[in-house]
Amino acid sequence: MKTKSISAALLTVLILLIALLPANVFAESNIINNGTINNNGIINNGTIVVQFIDVDVNNWAYEAISSMSKRNVVSGYEDGSYRPDNPINREEFAKMIAVTFSLDLAVTQDVYYSDIPPTRWSYPYILATKEYVTGYYPPKGLPFFDPDAKATREDVATALVKIMGLSTVKYSTHFTDENDISPNLKKYVDVAADYHLISGYPDGTFRPQNPISRAEVAALLYRAIKGISGEVAQDDHPAPEKGLPNQTTNIEAPELWADVVNELGSPELPNLSADPFSPINIIVRGETTPGASLTVNGKTVIVDRLGKFNLSIPVMKEGTYSFEIKSSYFDQTTTINKSITINIDPPQLVLEKPDPQVVSTSISSFGIWFNWIDHADNNAPTLLVNGQKRTYSMGGRIKNGGSGRFEVALENGKNDITIQLVNRFGKESSTVTKSVYYQPN
């Protein structure tokens, strides 16, 4: 009986001691620190997830997810899960890039993307990463980011190569569906594969437009950090030296699109003091592979970081103009030949009172009003009266035209007055004759 009493007493003491011990002596907590985790699983205000109920040690991305959660780059959900197969959207990825690489967050309130106001939670992260997680630039209007769209595999590969500063001079092809990769992103995807930052599927495809999962993002960022620090994950291969892959290179000819248009006049009312010898502008515009060099008829043309170019070529004569547009990317070139024919129409002249007139007055001076239309020239035309250049007073102006008035000294009897207009390109209107019969009082 005495032995049983002692045993019962020891058991009671042991239970009390266990109750007083911290819980983490026996089990590792899923979430350390009190903080908030949004529904997308992005870290907020210091929450650190160190273990997830749905990512065990046998998960292929376990090491990456665990490491990146400790770095505050990824986080889990309130139920302690990570949901590794869930996709991630573009603004979430922008934040992960900014946190991983300790980018300076934007303090400006300027609107850079039309769909990212300064009040949006992701605003500072998206602006901080705009050189790496790029937006979309339509031909007209403001650029946009599309924050809720799923981040794609080619987007993520491109961002990592850019932010790590890896050379894209030489690279290997890796995937059977390379043609499905956006042309201007191919080199980034292949360089990412060269450096073992990203890999394809067992069937040899890359599937560039597929959404990327939370597990894949954690693994990619983990590998990127390992690569920068010189470490290599156990299942990775050493990165090539000096930023250049050791595989056989395959540089494709640059993409090139070009158009040639003419720009005659202006949609606005002209400046009447404008240079009367200002030319017609031929616009050569288009897009090529970013990083390529471009020439038009042998002259170098500036290409912006998106691969777009726009060249204005002044001409003063009508005729056919030909252009050789050549894009060069290392030892590969793409050439397009374009031509445009410029036809310059003469001005059209109309008298306000074309019929013969009889004038009976003691004053021999007579005013004549005329109108003109000139689709090739917004400048006021030169006036010729009886073959001589004359000045005139301007009346009203309209788009591509206007009216004017000049005076002539009449002689007794019939006066035939020839009138003609000449525009800045030397194109002459038809000659109009005004007949006036003068009978002085």
User: Taking the CB of residue 115, how many other CB atoms lie within 10 A of it?
Assistant: 16
Query: Among 24-28, 97-101, 199-203, 285-289, whose mean pLDDT is lowest?
Result: 24-28
How would residue 403 be classed by pLDDT, with cut points 50, 70 and 90?
Answer: very high
How would residue 245 be classed by pLDDT, with cut points 50, 70 and 90?
Answer: very low
User: How many Å apart are CA 124 and CA 136, to the nearest integer?
Assistant: 18
**Percent of the chain scored above 70 by pLDDT?**
79
What is the average pLDDT across 108-114?
Answer: 82
Exposed e or buried b per residue across 355-376, where buried means at least 16 C-beta atoms within 10 angstroms of its C-beta: eeeeeeeeeeebebebbbebbb
pLDDT confidence of residue 296: 94
What is the average pLDDT across 275-285?
Answer: 72
pLDDT of 277 > 60? The answer is: no
Condensed to tens digits (0 to 9), the pLDDT of residues 339-398 reads 988 888 889 999 988 889 998 888 888 999 999 998 777 778 999 999 999 999 988 877
pLDDT confidence of residue 146: 92
The 3-class SS string of the chain reads CHHHHHHHHHHHHHHHHHHHCCHHHCCCCCEECCCEECCCCCEECCCEECCECCECCCCCCHHHHHHHHHCCCCCCCCCCCCCCCCECEHHHHHHHHHHHCCCCCCCCCCCCCCCCCCCCCCHHHHHHCCCCCCCECCCCCCCECCCCCECEHHHHHHHHHHHCCCCCCCCCCCCCCHHHCCHHHHHHHHHHHHCCCCCCCCCCCCCCCCECEHHHHHHHHHHHHHHHHCCCCCCCCCCCHHHCCCCCCCCCCCCEEEEEEEECCCCCCCCCCCCCCCCEEEEEEEEECCCCEEEECCEEECCCCCCEEEEEEEECCCEEEEEEEEEEECCEEEEEEEEEEECCCCCEEEECCCCCEEECCCCCEEEEEEEEECCCCCCCCEEEECCEEECCEEEEEECCEEEEEEEEECCCEEEEEEEEEECCCCCECCCEEEEEEECCC
pTM above 0.85, yes or no: no
Condensed to tens digits (0 to 9), the pLDDT of residues 52-94 reads 899 888 888 888 898 888 888 888 888 889 999 999 999 999 9
What is the average pLDDT across 21-43?
Answer: 35
CA 161 to chain centroid: 19
Q: Which two tokens stand for residue 181?
A: 């990769």
pLDDT confidence of residue 409: 92
pLDDT confidence of residue 393: 92
User: How many Å apart are CA 441 and CA 439, to the nearest integer?
Assistant: 6
pLDDT confidence of residue 147: 93
CA separation, residue 217 to residues 68, 154, 155, 436 (Å): 10, 12, 11, 88
Condensed to tens digits (0 to 9), the pLDDT of residues 172-193 reads 888 889 889 988 888 999 988 8
pLDDT of 103 > 60? The answer is: yes
pLDDT confidence of residue 200: 84
